[in-house]
C-alpha cells in the first residue's frame, strides 16, 4: 500500500514520490491513456511517477483481461470502490459521458485528483456542477483537468505561442473542421455514442468539442455567439449484439458560425459522415499580420504565412515541428523523427503530473471544460430551433 505525505501546497503525494492512478473505462480511450501513463516517466523527467494501481469496468472478465493487457495491477467493477482505494490518488475517467459528473464529483469530494475525458459532461448543468466541485476541492489540494489532448500536439502548442506573441496580428477569422466517416454506412451498428442518454450529443460533443477548445486555446478568446444547424442522416441503425434496430437520438453532423470576444468570425463543422475522411481535423487562423494552418493528417507540420515577407517571396511556409526547442520535443527523438497521435496523451500526463506536484491549476481546467460546454449547449439549442 502506498504511504502518503502532504506538501506545503496541500497536495497528497506518496513518500516514494509516486502517484497511484485509478482508471475508469478500458476501451479506446483507456488504451490511449494507459500507454501514456506507462510512457510519461520514461520520456520526461516528471516530478511524480505514475503507478497503475487499478482499472475499473462493469464486466469482471473483460476488465481483468484489459488489466492484464494494459498493465494495471488491480481491477474493480464499481467506480465507487476505485475511489475508496488508499492506493489510488488520481481518478482517470475514460468512460462514456453520462458517467463523468458522478464519478468526477465523488472523486474530488474524496480528495482525489481527476483527469476527465472530453467533453466534460453531457449537459451544461452537469458541467457546472463539475466545475463547482473542482473549485471547492482546490484549496485542499485536489486538482482537476479535462482531457483535450490536441492542445498537446507540438505544432498546435507552437501555433499558440505564435499567436500569443503577435505573429499573426489582430485576429480576423477562425475556421475549423473535424471530419470522420464511420457512420456513412447506414448499416453501421448502434453504439453508446449514438444515444443522447449516454453521449449527450453526437458529432457536436464527440468532435465539435475538440475544435471549440482549440479555437479558445489558440486565440485566447471566448466564443460569444453561435448559430447552428444539425442533421441526423440515419435514424435507425442495427443493434450490434443481435437482431433488431435502435433509434439514433443524437446528431450525425453539425455546422455553426460564431463570433469571438475580440470580434473575429469563426466557423465550425463536425461530422461522422464525411466519406473518405477518417480523422481529419483542420484549423486555420487568419490575422492582420499573418495566418496559421494545421492539419492533423500532417501532425508534425504547421503552416505559417508571415505578412511581413516581401511580395516576391511571400507564401505559406512549412514548419517541421520536430526540433528540441519546439514544445514537448526535448523528451523525444532527434530532429525530423516525427511523433504520432499517441504522444499527445503522454504530453497531457506530463503536464498534469507537473501541475499536481507544484500545486498549480492544470490546464485545461474544468472551468475550460465548462466554457466549451457552454458553446456546445448554445449550438445544440440553436440547431433545435
CA dist 119 and 166 (Å) reads 30
> Which CATH number covers residue 73?
3.40.50.720
Last residue of one domain, picked from the residues 149, 180, 210: 149
Q: Are residues 290 and 196 in the same domain?
A: yes
pLDDT above 60: residue 312: yes
Residue 382 belongs to a domain? no
- Cβ partners under 8 Å of residue 91, min gap 6: 22, 23, 24, 79, 82, 83, 103, 104, 107, 112, 113, 114, 115
- Cβ partners under 8 Å of residue 329, min gap 6: 154, 321, 322, 323, 339
Its domain, for residue 316, covers 154-298+300-339
**pLDDT tens readout for residues 231-246:** 999 999 999 988 999 9
Last residue of one domain, picked from the residues 149, 181, 197: 149
Q: Are residues 19 and 86 in the same domain?
A: yes
Residue 14 belongs to a domain? yes
The total of structural domains in the chain comes to: 2
Give the mean pLDDT of 60-68: 98
**pLDDT tens readout for residues 132-187:** 999 999 999 999 999 999 999 999 999 999 999 999 999 999 999 999 999 999 99
DSSP structure string for 290-352 = EEEEEEGGGTTEEEEEETTS-GGG-S-EEEE--STTSTTGGGSPSTT----TTHHHHHHHHHH
Q: Are residues 160 and 29 in the same domain?
A: no
Q: Are residues 174 and 109 in the same domain?
A: no
Q: Are residues 28 and 106 in the same domain?
A: yes
Give the bridge partners for 293, in sequence order: 284, 303
> Burial level of 166, CB count in 10 A (0-12/13-18/19+)?
exposed
CA dist 65 and 71 (Å) reads 10
Q: How confident is the model at residue 10 (pLDDT cuts 50, 70, 90)?
A: very low
CA dihedral 205→379→102→199, nearest 10 degrees, is -40
Give the mean pLDDT of 320-339: 97
**pLDDT tens readout for residues 178-217:** 999 999 999 999 999 999 999 999 999 999 999 999 999 9
- What is the reported pLDDT for 241? 82
**pLDDT tens readout for residues 259-305:** 999 999 999 999 999 999 999 999 999 999 999 999 999 999 999 99
Q: Are residues 170 and 262 in the same domain?
A: yes
Count CB neighbours of 324 within 10 A.
12
Q: Are residues 197 and 144 in the same domain?
A: no
Q: Are residues 136 and 40 in the same domain?
A: yes
Residue 103 belongs to a domain? yes
> Which CATH number covers residue 189?
3.30.360.10
Share of the chain above pLDDT 70, in %: 96
Q: Are residues 111 and 161 in the same domain?
A: no
Residue 352 belongs to a domain? no
Amino acid at each position: 500500500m502506498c504511504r502518503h505525505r502532504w506538501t506545503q501546497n496541500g497536495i497528497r503525494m506518496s513518500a516514494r514520490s509516486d502517484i497511484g492512478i485509478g482508471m475508469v473505462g478500458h476501451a479506446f480511450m483507456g488504451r490511449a491513456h494507459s500507454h501514456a501513463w506507462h510512457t510519461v516517466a520514461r520520456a520526461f523527467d516528471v516530478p511524480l511517477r505514475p503507478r497503475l494501481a487499478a482499472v475499473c469496468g462493469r464486466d469482471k472478465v473483460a476488465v481483468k483481461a484489459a488489466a492484464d493487457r494494459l498493465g494495471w495491477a488491480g481491477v474493480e467493477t464499481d467506480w465507487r470502490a476505485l475511489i475508496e482505494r488508499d492506493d489510488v490518488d488520481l481518478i482517470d475517467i475514460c468512460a462514456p459521458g453520462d458517467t463523468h459528473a458522478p464519478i468526477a464529483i465523488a472523486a474530488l469530494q474524496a480528495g482525489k485528483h481527476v483527469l476527465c475525458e472530453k467533453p466534460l459532461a453531457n449537459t451544461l448543468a452537469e458541467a457546472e456542477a463539475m466545475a463547482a466541485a473542482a473549485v471547492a476541492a482546490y484549496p485542499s489540494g485536489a486538482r482537476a483537468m479535462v482531457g483535450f489532448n490536441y492542445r498537446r500536439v507540438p505544432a498546435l502548442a507552437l501555433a499558440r505561442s505564435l499567436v500569443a506573441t503577435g505573429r499573426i496580428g489582430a485576429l480576423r477569422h477562425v475556421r475549423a473542421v473535424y471530419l470522420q466517416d464511420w457512420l456513412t454506412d447506414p448499416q453501421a451498428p448502434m453504439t453508446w455514442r449514438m444515444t443522447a442518454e449516454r453521449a449527450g450529443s453526437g458529432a457536436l460533443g464527440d468532435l465539435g468539442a475538440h475544435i471549440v477548445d482549440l479555437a479558445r486555446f489558440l486565440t485566447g478568446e471566448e466564443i460569444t455567439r453561435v448559430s447552428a444547424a444539425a442533421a441526423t442522416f440515419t435514424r435507425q441503425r442495427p443493434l450490434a449484439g443481435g437482431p433488431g434496430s435502435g433509434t439514433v437520438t443524437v446528431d450525425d453532423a453539425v455546422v455553426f458560425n460564431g463570433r469571438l470576444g475580440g470580434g473575429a468570425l469563426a466557423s465550425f463543422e463536425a461530422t461522422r459522415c464525411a466519406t473518405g475522411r477518417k480523422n481529419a481535423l483542420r484549423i486555420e487562423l487568419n490575422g492582420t499580420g499573418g495566418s496559421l494552418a494545421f492539419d492533423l493528417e500532417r501532425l508534425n507540420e504547421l503552416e505559417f504565412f508571415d505578412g511581413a515577407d516581401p511580395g516576391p517571396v511571400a507564401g505559406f511556409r512549412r514548419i517541421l515541428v520536430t526540433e528540441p526547442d519546439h514544445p514537448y520535443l526535448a523528451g523525444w527523438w532527434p530532429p525530423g523523427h516525427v511523433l504520432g497521435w499517441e504522444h499527445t496523451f503522454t504530453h497531457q500526463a506530463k503536464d498534469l503530473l507537473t501541475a499536481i506536484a507544484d500545486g498549480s491549476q492544470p490546464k485545461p481546467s474544468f472551468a475550460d471544460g465548462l466554457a466549451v460546454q457552454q458553446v456546445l449547449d448554445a449550438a445544440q439549442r440553436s440547431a433545435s430551433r
